[in-house]
């Protein structure tokens, strides 16, 4: 893999220069401890038992034989577990997923639902007893099939309206010179982060302490306090190192069951999820069925845009994969309709995963644009430039920076787009047909209110405390650079402590908002501290601490369309005799605000693009109709891209500082995946002349779709 | 805690004696499959007899000009062996197409032949599976089966054998040697795996308690011009959805000798005898290669979602044989 940068962002200090991770040495030497491996005296181990039926009722939990097994301390289940409070709206604006609020009743709403926790002296004893625990069920018929015409589909307002509509769609379609009316599908996809969910709960001096792996300690602490009806000040959640989150590491069954057990036994209890349990207990991306209708004038200008996305959710929690939302940002049309609908089925609760909405939505919309470009005989980039909106297509609000065209121009130049023959199925190299494709990317740029404390120590160093989460992104390092610049000192004088809810409320590592949200709070506190430090003044032994809270500042932001953008390019090779598709190179050029640390930023953007390759070609969780469970739910059966699938992937950016952000940040966590799968799929069409509208583009699907036009 | 007895054997008779007639005991080679199955509970042996220290880790020439491969030779050593690379190149290619470098350093030749299917129903204790729990049913027939068998399967089981190495060995008429308490024995690989029928849990013809001691490759001159092609759903670290081991001797535009075996289409590495019969003496052209593939695949009984495998295998046979023929013509 090679990368190179044009690096035009103005460099005034540490921000904008490449720095290796401040905790990198600890991580590569193993000194960094993860949640499942931090020692505690008197630790007991819990092992979850999950349902083997997809719908029904628990008739009995045969605890007696298991309690007689060696080392077993207790078995928690709906018959003896404490009642939890789940009737509340959490800090993310949604009620808790009952999958996390374990053992509250005898209902089983999906396969892999948590039904009991066996606690023992060792993990091996707990596991053996958990596997021996007999649970009997009254089985009920289940429905897991998502179909485009499912009668129970309904629109849902998630973090955006369910439906938007303007103009007369049918009239504009009828008046269009070119119409594309196509259906796309994406499969069930899973986060698949390396580190499994793990938590240790203990009561210590009247406080509940949970050592966890999560994307927001103050978020998880708040949820636990509400569920267990505890005063918020009683709960402390720590999460120092996190081996990947991707949207999955929030409040889950492992923390809640660990707290229950630690309370019942009055000793520390650890619960670690197995890889298989993660596939049913920690969220995933719902499959989607998306219909896109585009109507355009002969020159490609859109008259009509209709994007309807159908996803599924569980019967216990309403979550919508808002795939049609991307059309509200990207393209305008005289008649414009978008709808995000769901069906409730007997499946695990989906949740946020790697660019929720935009990732699958951009596959459908950007592939449809490519089909329209073919119909109109207009270059795919030119088609997009002709349809660049001046204002938010639905909101009517101005954009706070929309440098998509710059991304396409720079990307086209570096990718060699100008030399491209638009005709499909024309390039052959041995057994491989070659093709190139492009797609646009966008992801919302937001900020969450956060608090931070910055201390000037007596020894001339500085300590930053903020309940941020570094889920592998390099956030700890980025905040070190941000603080150093705000304090006008070198980064080696700054120590950043994160991952502790006792540091006060802070936004989550999610929605591509983490670094921006925390950097804002750190900048505010550090800036004020710098002014307080008198030249030649003496810092007392306890140091001088300044706190910040960005709630008011973020609340005062003018309403605008705020997004990161990008242009994705892919070259693929397709062996039409075997159906194998291989990506040969990818280029992504992004306009994503000021880049704090080019080294780790590139890692995130390239990582996102690799997610996109994986989404386009590999990832697919297959649900077994008869059992309602997953087929092969492990990392051998669920394929993610390997190194060999990822050749030359290059990410770079254009200058795009956000004028409304103190540091100029927008957010880079997720925009890298957006449009990547569409670019690959469009390249497969260009190689073969066949449109693949269902992901992943597996060899069998390429073979069944027939050969190329050559 | 699930406990088991672990013994390390120093010699072959000792290993056989340690296992005894205990159906709950297993030989442990590299452990790259057995240990995984123990973790998931598919295998629950009461005793493991570790055979990795046995003096079976050599590859030696046989009197008739073949090669005898010890059972504990690792996949890495097998692939790197000069005699294998030059005289049976498809075998090296097949081994290197499987697993990862780390796994190949651990996995043994004997264990490779005895590895279990990766069918997702077989590896999931909450599911029925006739191979794991005889008589419980086969959910794959009506469930997920896009990578299941199209040849030689039955209603009782449609799982495929996962080995790449075994496909090349099958093409080259390898013979498996084993030891039992009653003495040594041999099984040609062609008869090593039992037909599925209604007993998919009975996978090999090895007598109870038998320890594989080695695999013998006879001299196969045509194998020097051989190739292994594996198709999978990602570029590395995935089991095949179809593979071909092929060897071709062409002279004067006519096929003088041919070897052909398929992987990922049946419960065992599939020797394509019908195809070989069509090929031998036929013109070395794509038309005849396709006819050979069709002759073999006439017996295919695809399920609703794996019919592509018939197309895939036909295309693979034509592609690989054509490449070999072109090289022969140079």
Q: How many residues does chain B have?
A: 330
Q: Given A625, A631, A699, which is nearest B231 (Cβ)?
A: A699
Beta-carbon contacts of residue A449 (< 8 Å; ≥ 6 apart): A505, A507, A517, A549, A550, A551, A554, A555
**A 239-268 residues with CB below 8 A of B?**
none
Among B120, B137, B264, the strongest candidate for a mutation testing the A interface, having the largest count of A CBs within 10 A, is: B120
Give the domain ranges of chain B. 5-50, 222-329
Residue found under tokens 């020159």: A299
Total domain count for chain A? 2
- As a CATH number, domain B222-329 is 3.30.390.50
* Domain that residue A459 falls in: 448-555
Confidence of residue A160 (pLDDT cuts 50, 70, 90): confident
Q: Shortest Cα distance from A630 to chain B (angstroms)?
A: 9
Q: Which of B1, B144, B238 sits opposite A125 (nearest CB)?
A: B1
Q: Residue B248 pLDDT > 50, yes or no?
A: yes
Q: How far is A702 from chain B (nearest CA, A)?
A: 10
State the pLDDT confidence band at A5, using cuts at 50, 70 and 90. Answer: very low
CATH number (domain holding residue A548): 3.30.365.10
Quote the DSSP letter at residue A189.
Answer: B
Inter-residue contact A258 to A46 (CB < 8 Å): yes
pLDDT digits (tens, 9 = 90+) for A21-43: 999 999 999 999 999 999 999 99
Residues A571 and A657 in one domain: yes
* Three-state SS sequence of chain B: CCCCEEEECCCHHHHHHHHCCCCCEEEECCCCCHHHHHHHCCCCCCEEEECCCCCCCCEEECCCCCEEEECCCEHHHHHHCHHHHHHCHHHHHHHHCCCCHHHHHHCEHHHHHHCCCCCCCCCCCCCCCCCCCCCCCCCCCCCCCCCCCCCCCECCECCCCCCCHHHHHHHCCCEEEEEECCEEEEEEHHHHECCCCCCCCCCECCCCCCEEEEEEECCCHHHHHEEEEEEECCCCCCCEEEEEEEEEEEECCEEEEEEEEEECCCCCCEECHHHHHHHCCCECCHHHHHHHHHHHHCCCCCCCCCCHHHHHHHHHHHHHHHHHHHHHHC
- Residues A594 and A666 reside in one and the same domain: yes
Average pLDDT over residues A56-72: 98
pLDDT at residue A619 is higher than 50: yes
CA distances from A210 to A139, A462, A470, A501, A502 (A): 36, 27, 17, 10, 12
pLDDT value at residue B257: 97
CA nearest neighbour of A338 among A365, A308, A293? A308
| Judgement on whether residues A673 and A628 belong to the same structural domain of the protein | yes
Calculate mean pLDDT across residues A476-502.
97
Q: Are residues A426 and A454 in the same domain?
A: no
Listed residue (A82, A77, A89) closest to A226, CA to CA: A89
pLDDT at B305: 97
Beta-carbon separation of A128 and B1 below 8 A: yes
pLDDT at A12: 60
Question: Which one of A195, A374, A571, A670 is the catalytic residue?
Answer: A670
Question: In this structure, is residue A373 part of a structural domain?
Answer: no
The residue out of A493, A521, A555 marking a domain boundary is A555
Q: What is the mean pLDDT of residues B218-231?
A: 98
pLDDT band at A710 (very low <50, low <70, confident <90, very high): very low
Q: Which of B2, B124, B240, B309 to mutate to test the interface with A (most CBs of A within 10 A)?
A: B124
Same domain, A593 and A670: yes
Residue ending a domain, among A534, A555, A576, is: A555
Chain B neighbors of A639, CB-CB under 8 A: 233-234, 238
Interface contact A624, partner B, CB < 8 A: yes
pLDDT in tens, B77-104: 999 999 999 999 999 999 999 999 999 9
Residue A531 CB neighbours (<10 A): 8
In a domain, A667, yes or no: yes
Residues in chain A within 8 Å Cβ distance of B146: 700
Test B308 with A131 for CB contact under 8 angstroms.
no
Arithmetic mean of pLDDT, A156-171: 94
Spell out which residues of chain B touch residue A704, defining contact as CB-CB under 8 Å.
307-308
Cα separation, B78 vs A234, whole angstroms: 61
Same domain for A421 and A454, yes or no, is: no
- Residue A436 within any structural domain of the chain: yes
CATH classification for the domain delimited by B5-50, as one of 3.60.40.10, 3.30.43.10, 2.60.40.10, 2.60.200.20: 3.30.43.10
* Residue A19 lies inside a defined structural domain of this protein: yes
With beta carbons under 8 A apart, name residues in chain B contacting A680: none
Q: pLDDT per residue over A209-268, tens digit each? A: 999 999 999 999 999 999 999 999 999 999 999 999 999 999 999 999 999 999 999 999
Residue with tokens 């130049």: A413
Q: Which stretch of A6-15, A255-264, A389-398, B317-326 has the lowest confidence by average pLDDT?
A: A6-15
Inter-chain CB proximity A128 and B2 less than 8 Å: yes
Q: Are A571 and A484 contained in the same domain? A: no
Same domain? For A510 and A659 the reply is no
Task: State how far the alpha carbon of A179 is from the alpha carbons of A373, A681, A696, A702, in Å.
Answer: 11, 20, 25, 25
Distance set, CA A440 to CA A361, B50, B251 (Å): 11, 56, 55
Q: What are phi and psi of B172, to 5 degrees?
A: -105, 20
With cut-offs at 50, 70 and 90, classify the pLDDT of residue A707. low
| Interfacial A residues in 498-527 facing B (CB < 8 Å) | none
| % of residues, chain B, pLDDT over 90 | 97
Respond yes or no: is residue A371 known to be catalytic: no
- Report how far residue A569's alpha carbon sits from residue A370's, in angstroms, rounded to the nearest whole number: 13
Mean pLDDT, chain A, rounded, equals 96
pTM, to two decimals:
0.97
Residues A405 and A433 in one domain: yes
pLDDT tens across B30-69, in order?
A: 999 999 999 999 999 999 999 999 999 999 999 999 999 9
Read off the pLDDT of each residue in B138-146 and give the average, rounded to a whole number. 98
Give the residue-averaged pLDDT of A64-90: 98
Predicted local confidence at residue B1, as pLDDT = 63
Q: Which segments within A12-64 are labelled E, that is strand?
A: 44-50, 56-62
If one counts every other C-beta atom within 10 angstroms of the C-beta of residue B224, the result is: 13
Chain A residues whose beta carbon lies within 8 Å of the beta carbon of residue B162: none
The beta-carbon neighbor of A580 closest among B1, B120, B231 is B231
Q: How confident is the model at residue A3 (pLDDT cuts 50, 70, 90)?
A: very low
CB-based contact, A531 to chain B, within 8 Å: no
Domain boundary pick from A526, A555, A584: A555
Same structural domain for residues A433 and A569?
yes
Element (H, E) at A603: helix A598-617
Give the separation between CA B149 and CA B159, rounded to whole angstroms.
6
Say if residue A502 is in the same domain as residue A426: no
Task: Give the SS3 label for residue A637.
Answer: coil
Alpha-helical (H) ranges within A57-101 are: 63-67
Report the run of H or E that residue A433 belongs to, with start and end. Answer: strand A432-444
Take residue A705 and report the two structure tokens written for it: 């779709």
* Cα separations in angstroms, B298 against A579, A673, B151, B311: 22, 44, 9, 12
Give me the pLDDT at residue A1, please: 37
What does the pLDDT average to over B304-321?
A: 98
State whether A604 and A709 are in the same domain: yes
Mean pLDDT to the nearest integer, A541-545: 97
Test B2 with A577 for CB contact under 8 angstroms: no
What's the CA gap between B209 and A217, in Å, rounded?
55
Q: Give the pLDDT of residue A7.
A: 38
Q: In A, which residues are within 8 Å of B241 by CB distance?
A: 699-700
A436 CB-side CA count, 13 A: 19
Contact A623, A110 (CB under 8 A): no
3-state secondary structure A466-532: CCCCCCCCCHHHHHHHHHHHHHCCCHHHEEEECCEHHHCCCCCCCCCCHHHHHHHHHHHHHHHHHHH
Q: Which SS3 state, helix, strand or coil, does residue A276 take? A: helix
B146, A579: Cβ pair inside 8 Å? no
**Banded pLDDT at B156 (limits 50, 70, 90):** very high
Interface contacts A/B by beta carbons within 8 Å = 93
Q: Answer for the pair A508, A469: CB distance below 8 angstroms, yes or no.
A: yes
């Amino acid at each position: 893999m090679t990368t190179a940068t044009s690096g035009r962002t103005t460099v005034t200090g540490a921000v904008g220069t490449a720095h290796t991770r401040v905790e990198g040495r600890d991580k590569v030497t193993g000194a960094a401890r993860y949640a499942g491996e931090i020692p505690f005296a008197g630790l007991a181990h819990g092992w979850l038992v999950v349902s083997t039926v997809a719908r029904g009722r628990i008739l009995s939990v045969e605890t007696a034989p298991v309690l007689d097994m060696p080392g077993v301390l207790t078995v928690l289940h709906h018959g003896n577990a404490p009642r939890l409070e789940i009737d509340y709206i959490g800090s993310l604006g949604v009620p808790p997923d009952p999958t996390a609020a374990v053992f509250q009743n005898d209902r089983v709403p999906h396969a892999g639902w948590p039904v009991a926790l066996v606690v023992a002296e060792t993990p091996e004893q707990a596991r053996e007893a958990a596997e021996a625990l007999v649970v009997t069920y009254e089985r009920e018929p289940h429905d897991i099939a998502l179909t485009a015409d499912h009668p129970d589909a309904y629109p849902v307002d998630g973090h955006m309206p369910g439906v938007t509509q303007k103009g007369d769609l049918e009239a504009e379609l009828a008046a269009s010179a070119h119409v594309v009316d196509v259906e796309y599908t994406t499969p069930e996809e899973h986060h698949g982060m390396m580190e499994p969910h793990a938590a240790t709960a203990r009561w210590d001096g009247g406080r509940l302490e949970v050592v966890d792996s999560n994307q927001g300690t103050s978020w998880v602490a708040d949820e636990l306090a509400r569920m267990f009806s505890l005063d918020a000040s009683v709960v402390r959640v720590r999460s120092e190192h996190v081996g990947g989150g991707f949207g999955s590491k929030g409040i889950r069954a492992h923390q809640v069951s660990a707290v229950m057990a630690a309370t019942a036994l009055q000793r520390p209890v650890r619960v670690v999820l197995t890889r298989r349990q993660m596939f049913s207990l920690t969220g995933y991306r719902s499959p989607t069925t998306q219909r896109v209708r585009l109507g355009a004038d002969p020159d490609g200008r859109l008259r009509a845009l209709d994007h309807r996305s159908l996803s599924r959710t569980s019967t216990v929690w309403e979550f919508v994969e808002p795939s049609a939302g991307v059309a509200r940002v990207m393209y305008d049309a005289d008649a414009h309709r978008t709808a995000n609908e769901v069906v409730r089925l007997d499946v695990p609760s989906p949740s946020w995963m790697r660019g929720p909405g935009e990732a699958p939505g951009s596959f459908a919309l950007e592939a449809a644009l490519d089909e329209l470009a073919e119909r109109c005989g207009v270059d795919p980039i030119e088609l997009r430039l002709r349809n660049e909106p001046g204002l938010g297509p639905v909101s009517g609000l101005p954009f706070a920076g929309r440098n998509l065209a710059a991304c396409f121009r720079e990307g086209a130049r570096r990718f060699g787009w100008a030399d491209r023959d638009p005709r499909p199925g024309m390039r052959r190299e041995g057994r491989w047909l070659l093709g190139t494709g492009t797609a646009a990317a966008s992801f919302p740029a937001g900020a969450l209110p956060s608090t931070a404390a910055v201390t000037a120590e007596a020894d001339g160093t500085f300590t930053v405390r903020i309940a941020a989460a570094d889920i592998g992104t390099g956030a700890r390092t980025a905040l070190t650079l941000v603080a150093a610049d705000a304090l006008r000192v070198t980064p080696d004088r700054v120590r950043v402590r994160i991952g502790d809810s006792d540091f006060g409320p802070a936004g989550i590592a999610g929605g591509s908002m983490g670094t921006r949200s925390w950097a804002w709070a750190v900048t505010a506190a550090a800036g004020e501290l710098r002014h307080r430090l008198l030249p030649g003044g003496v810092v007392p032994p306890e140091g001088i601490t300044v706190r910040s809270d960005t709630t008011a500042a973020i609340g005062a932001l003018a309403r605008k369309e705020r997004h990161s953008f990008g242009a994705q390019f892919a070259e693929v090779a397709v062996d039409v005799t075997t159906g194998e598709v291989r990506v040969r190179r990818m280029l992504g050029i992004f306009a994503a605000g000021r880049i704090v640390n080019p080294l780790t930023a590139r890692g995130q953007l390239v990582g996102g693009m690799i997610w996109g390759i994986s989404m386009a070609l590999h990832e697919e969780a297959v649900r077994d109709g008869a059992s309602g469970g997953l087929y092969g739910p492990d990392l051998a059966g669920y394929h993610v891209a390997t190194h060999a699938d990822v050749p030359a992937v290059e990410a770079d950016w254009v200058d795009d500082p956000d004028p409304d952000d103190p540091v100029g940040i927008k957010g880079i966590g997720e925009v890298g995946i957006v449009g990547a799968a569409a670019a690959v799929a469009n390249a497969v069409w260009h190689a073969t002349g066949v449109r693949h509208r269902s992901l992943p583009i597996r060899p069998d699907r390429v073979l069944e779709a027939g050969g190329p036009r050559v | 805690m699930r406990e088991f007895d672990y013994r390390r054997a120093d010699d072959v008779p000792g290993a056989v004696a340690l296992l005894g007639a205990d159906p709950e005991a297993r030989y442990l080679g590299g452990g790259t499959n057995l240990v995984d199955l123990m973790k998931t509970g598919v295998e629950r042996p009461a005793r493991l007899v570790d055979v990795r220290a046995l003096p079976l880790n050599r590859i030696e020439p046989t009197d008739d000009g073949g090669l005898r491969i010890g059972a504990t030779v690792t996949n890495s050593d097998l692939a790197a062996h000069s005699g294998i690379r030059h005289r049976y190149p498809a075998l090296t290619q097949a081994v290197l197409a499987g697993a990862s470098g780390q796994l190949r350093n651990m996995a043994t030749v004997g264990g490779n032949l005895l590895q279990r299917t990766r069918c997702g129903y077989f590896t999931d204790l909450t599911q029925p599976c006739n191979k794991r729990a005889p008589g419980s049913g086969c959910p794959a027939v009506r469930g997920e089966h896009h990578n299941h068998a199209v040849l030689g399967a039955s209603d009782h089981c449609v799982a495929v054998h996962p080995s790449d190495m075994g496909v090349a060995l099958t093409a080259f008429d390898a013979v498996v040697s084993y030891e039992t308490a009653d003495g040594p024995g041999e099984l040609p690989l062609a008869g090593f795996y039992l037909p599925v029928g209604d007993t998919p849990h009975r996978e090999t013809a090895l007598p109870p308690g038998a320890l594989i001691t080695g695999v013998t490759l006879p001299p196969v001159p045509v194998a020097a011009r051989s190739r292994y092609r594996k198709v999978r759903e990602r570029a590395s670290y995935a089991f095949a959805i179809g593979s071909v081991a092929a060897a071709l001797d062409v002279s004067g535009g006519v096929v003088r000798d041919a070897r052909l075996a398929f992987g990922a289409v049946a419960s065992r590495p599939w020797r394509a005898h019908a195809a070989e019969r069509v090929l031998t003496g036929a013109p070395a052209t794509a038309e005849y290669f396709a006819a050979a593939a069709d002759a073999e695949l006439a017996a295919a009984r695809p399920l609703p979602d794996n019919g592509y495998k018939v197309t895939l295998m036909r295309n693979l046979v034509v592609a690989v044989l054509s490449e070999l023929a072109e090289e022969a013509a140079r």
